[in-house]
Amino acid sequence: MEGHKGGLRPPNQVIKGGFAPLTPRGADTTLSVQDLWVEYRTRRGTVKAVRGVSLDLCRGEALALIGESGSGKTTLGLSLIRLIPRSARIRAGRVIYRRDGQEYDVLSLGSEDLRQFRWKECAMVFQSALNALNPVLKVWDQVYDTASAHRQAYAHRTRQRALDLLRLVQLDPERVLRSYPHELSGGMRQRVLLAMSLLLDPQVLILDEPTTALDVLTQRAIIDVLRRLRKELEFSLILISHDLSLAAELADRVATMYAGAIVEIGDVYETFYRPRHPYTLGLLRAVPTVTGQMRDLASIPGCPPDLVNMPSGCKFHPRCPYADSRCQEEELELAQVGRGHAAACFHWQQVQYELEAREGA
Amino acid sequence: MNIFARLPGSPRDRRPLGVAFPRAVSATRGIARLINSVVSNYLFRKVLKAAFTIFFVTSLTFFIIRLMPANPVDVYIQEMIAQYGMAYDEARNQAAALLAIDLSAPMYQQYFDYLGNLLHGNLGTSYRSKGTPAASIIVKFLPWTIFSVGVSLLISFTLGVVLGMLMAYWRESPLDHVLSAFASIMSSVPNYLVAMMLVVFLGVQWKLLPITAMRGSMSPGIQPGLSLHFVGDIFFHAALPIATYVLTTIGGWMLLMKSSTISTLEEDYVTVARARGLSDRRITTAYVGRNAALPLFTQLTISVGFIVGGSVLIESIFVYQGVGLLLINSINARDYPVMQGVFLVIATAVVLANLLADLLYSRLDPRIRITGGE
């Protein structure tokens, strides 16, 4: 099995700006994923959804996972709270969670500990919030369910906290608590779920596409709410999204995923202004801007790889304009390309050169 | 009302509304609105529909049972001749004296008489048990059917729902395969066949059960009351009908619940409930179970009605004194009032069950309350 353990290997090419650890601003990681492999067994064969992912999440940091649909972002998120579907299996890897100087291996927690870990330590807001609440229970009952499942069954205190949080996400708290989910609009349900995710004051919050299926104004509201909440409550955030503008607004660091692996990771400005992996560059070029010219847009040719029969070498090579024979044979691991910035590409310097040339022009 | 018929554009039309309509008109509008709100009321409409259905079925049965070959008098005469070897004339005289019914009145007149009596709560008097109101006969038989069918529905529904959920949670396991096979076989075997097999094997061939002592709905001479003795006795007599109903209906519940649970398990809110760290017990009952069982409640209430009708064969096989047995006997004797009474009970049971299903469903599923409450 390939994949690196822990720290970075020396880069294969010239180092720019000296060696910096992948986790910026020193230690104090809340969640650290080490060489995680997740597979789905299907009739067609084994789908390798997550292939040797390693990353660290610092206290209070916001990390965005971007990439196309089917790149393994959601599976990675689900693996962190061990909520993967029945057909999936975590083949290898460790997920270390730290709180108050204690370390826990999430993947080997017992069922009761795992239950307590979920939501209280690490909450996840799912993609489809429309159907995320039980249709036959009122919102308050579901809030109380959540609290009492974590031995915080003081109805009064829970209610107070829920009211505060609902107010924070700009809902009419009393009315929402009394409502059934179907009496709320999609954006309201999304915000209810967001408020509920913070009910137990988790250290880590995973947001899976928090704004898809919402109109722009609601998206705006949710982004603002998230920023405020992060300032006030200081939790770490993993943001799973294919919406790059959302990532740019909320994240401190960005990780690009392709075919189940992280192909580039770095500081958000660094990654978006100086992408070093052709795939990240392709994603950025495919985003339209309201004021920009349509001719500047370019989509990435081809389609995401079949995760059962993956191409040899670098998984991106069939779609990559820079690919050569080496890319077809060898898959590169993440390597330092800048300060706190790593990419897994042989040709990152060529990408850099072209970008600089374009900017100069 | 020529106010409404007035052509648009005429000068009076341009008056403000308050002036255009005098007080009397606005009062009638208020009443109209009240009537309108009653008529468009969900419950009111449902009850009205139910009442109409019952009326329709009652009328239909009235005419259909009179289309059956042979009338009560003929049947009685035939019986007398066959049993006592009477001469035809003698038998006819006795029939005329005993039955004292006049079937020569025109059909429509009989029908309106019947409807008129029905409106007064009078089902007529039995032709056979002279002078006994049909209602009092039915009242004597009905509790046994309600008891046996009710108990078996309760058992089969609860057990079926639990087993169905088990099958869904452990799908593709040996348990699931065994239960699935059992459920599909049992739900496709007709209930009278199961009843006969119970009698033949348990009662006659293997002699495991005292089948003759189990006949009837209770042992002779026993005092009805809330004593353990009495309750034990009625369960002893109802055991075989109940076993038949449970065996033949449980498969349906299991399969329904299994598929319903499987689709509920895929729902996002169940995944989210897991992510919220709820206990498995809470998820299974309030999140999976309650949502999965929702569609089954409609089925449950509807099947109440049908089982009352379907008890005919079972009750006669086990000689259990319920309305099913009563119906068979009254059909054989062409006892029109009793037959009509039993059909009325069955129709009412089905219709009420449907009504109950609607009301119950809107109680159980908050999403229906909104659309239904309009």
Q: Read off the amino acid at residue A351.
A: V
Instruction: Give the bridge partners for A56, in sequence order.
Output: A32
Cβ-Cβ contacts under 8 Å, A134 against chain B: 269, 273, 286-287, 291
**pLDDT value, residue B162:** 94
The token duo for B311 is 């008890």
Helix (H, G, I), strand (E, B) or coil at A90: strand
Q: Bigger pLDDT: A306 or A121?
A: A121
Does a structural domain hold residue A286? yes
Summarised one tens digit per residue, pLDDT across range B92-101 is 877 777 766 6
Closest to B51 in 3D by CA, of B373, B362, B351, B308: B351
Residues B61 and B175 reside in one and the same domain: no
The per-residue pLDDT for A9 is 34
Look at residue A272 and give its three-state secondary structure. Answer: helix
Backbone angles phi, psi at A293, to 5 degrees: -90, 140
Give the contacts of A331 (CB within 8 A, at least 6 positions apart).
A2, A313, A314, A315, A344
Contact of A258 with A315, CB cutoff 8 Å: yes
Let me know whether B58 and B146 are in one domain: no
d(CA B334, CA A146) in angstroms, rounded, equals 64
Decide if B28 is inside a domain: no
Question: B252 burial class (0-12, 13-18, 19+ CB within 10 angstroms)?
Answer: buried
Exposed, middle or buried by CB within 10 Å (0-12, 13-18, 19+), for A294?
A: exposed
Is A326 among the domain residues? yes
pLDDT band of A340, cuts 50, 70, 90: confident
3-state DSSP of A53-82: EEEEEECCCEEEEECCCCCCHHHHHHHHCC
CA distance B170 to B166: 6
- Contacts with B287 from chain A: Cβ below 8 Å: 134
B160 and B250 in contact (C-beta within 8 Å)? Answer: yes
Of the candidates A83, A115, A146, the beta carbon closest to that of B271 is on: A83
Residue B1: Cβ-neighbour burial (10 angstroms; 0-12, 13-18, 19+):
exposed
Asked whether residue B36 is assigned to any structural domain, the reply reads no
Domain count, chain A: 1
- My answer on whether B156 and B208 are in the same domain is yes
Confidence at residue B101, expressed as pLDDT on a 0 to 100 scale: 67
Question: Which residue range forms the structural domain that includes residue B79?
Answer: 43-119
- Judge: B277–A134 Cβ closer than 8 Å, yes or no: no
Per-residue buried b or exposed e for B25-59, using 16+ beta carbons within 10 Å of the residue's own CB: eeeeeeeeeeeeeeeeeeeeeeeeebeebbeebbe
For position A29, what pLDDT does the model report?
87
Indicate if B208 and B171 belong to the same structural domain.
yes
| Same domain for B272 and B232 | yes
In a domain, B32, yes or no: no
Q: Does residue B97 fall inside a structural domain? A: yes
* In a domain? residue A313: yes
B-chain residues within 8 Å CB-CB of A135? 269, 291, 365-367
| Residue A253, pLDDT above cutoff 90 | yes
Are B164 and B308 contained in the same domain? yes
Q: What is the mean pLDDT of chain A?
A: 83
Query: Residue A312: pLDDT above 90?
Result: no
Contact B309, B350 (CB under 8 A): yes
For the cut 60, the answer to whether the pLDDT of residue A14 exceeds it is no
- CB half-sphere exposure, B262, CA atoms < 13 A: 13
Which chain A positions have a beta carbon within 8 Å of B291's beta carbon?
134-136
Say which of B269, B277, B364 has its CB closest to residue A133. Answer: B269
Q: What is the mean pLDDT of residues A52-68?
A: 90
Q: Do B275 and A115 touch (CB under 8 A)?
A: no
C-alpha B324: how far from its chain's center? 12
Does residue B86 share a domain with residue B221?
no
Asked if the model's pLDDT at residue A3 lies above 50, the reply is no
Structure tokens at A31: 């969640």
Indicate the pairing of strand A204-208 with strand A236-240.
parallel
pLDDT of residue A291: 66
Same domain as B71, residue B180: no
- The alpha helices in chain B, defined as continuous H runs, are 2-5, 17-20, 23-39, 42-67, 72-84, 88-99, 107-119, 134-169, 174-188, 191-197, 228-265, 268-275, 280-282, 290-317, 323-332, 336-364, 366-372
Output the six-digit token pair for A97: 């969670």
Kindly tell me if the per-residue pLDDT of A215 is higher than 80.
no
Best of B169, B262, B263, B272 to substitute, by most chain A Cβ atoms within 10 angstroms, is B272
pLDDT of residue A22: 43
CA torsion through residues B319, B320, B321, B326, sign: negative
**Among chain A residues, CA nearest to B370:** A183
Contact A145 B271 (CB under 8 A): no
The number of domains in chain B is 2
Tell whether B195 and B66 lie within a shared domain.
no
CA distance A346 to A324: 9
| Amino acid (one-letter) located at B254 | M
Beta-strand ranges (E) seen in chain A are 29-42, 45-58, 62-66, 88-99, 102-105, 122-125, 204-208, 236-240, 253-258, 261-267, 335-338, 341-343
Q: Which of B119, B142, B169 is the last residue of a domain?
A: B119
Both B138 and B91 in one domain: the answer is no
Nearest Cα to B161, choosing from B47, B62, B285? Answer: B285
Whether residues B188 and B301 share a domain: the answer is yes
Query: If pLDDT is split at 50, 70 and 90, which confidence band does A230 have?
Result: confident
Measure in Å the smallest separation between the Cα of B254 and chain A Cα atoms.
22
**If you average pLDDT over residues A51-60, what whole number do you get?**
90
Q: Output the pLDDT for position A176.
A: 93
What residues in B contact A119, CB-CB < 8 Å?
275-277
* CATH number of the domain encompassing residue B296: 1.10.3720.10
Name the stretches of chain B with pLDDT < 70: 1-25, 39, 99-102, 306-308, 310, 369-374
Residue B16's pLDDT is 47
Decide if the complex's ipTM is over 0.95.
no
Can you tell me whether residue A254 is helix, strand or coil? strand
Domain annotation covers residue A268: no
**The pTM is what?**
0.77
Among candidate residues B95, B119, B143, the one where a domain is terminated: B119
Which is it for the CA torsion A43, A47, A49, A54, positive or negative?
positive
The widest CA-to-CA distance across chain B, in whole angstroms, is 96
The answer to the question of residue B201 being in a domain is yes
Q: Do A196 and B276 touch (CB under 8 A)?
A: yes
Q: Is B170 helix (H, G, I), strand (E, B) or coil?
A: coil
pLDDT at position A182 over 70: yes
B253 lies in the same domain as B285: yes
Distance from CA of A205 to the nearest CA of B (A): 12
Express the helix, strand and coil content of chain A in percent, nearest 5 each. 35, 25, 40
Q: Are B240 and B195 in contact (CB under 8 A)?
A: yes
Query: Per-residue pLDDT averaged across A129-157, rounded?
Result: 87
pLDDT the model gives residue B12 = 46
Q: What is the pLDDT of residue A284?
A: 87
Q: Can you read off the two tokens belonging to residue A104? A: 């826990």
Question: Where is average pLDDT lowest: A171-185, A215-229, B179-193, B278-292?
Answer: A215-229
**A209 in a domain, yes or no?**
no
**Is there a domain that residue A308 lies in?**
yes
Question: What tens digit of pLDDT does each residue of B115-154 get?
Answer: 888 888 888 888 777 778 888 888 999 889 889 988 999 9
Residue A360 forms part of a structural domain: yes
A142 occurs within a structural domain: no
> Which chain A residues are within 8 Å of B276, Cβ to Cβ?
118-119, 123, 145-146, 149, 196
Cα(B157)–Cα(B163) distance, integer angstroms:
10
Domain interval for residue A315: 275-361
Within-domain flag for B29: no
pLDDT value for A257: 93
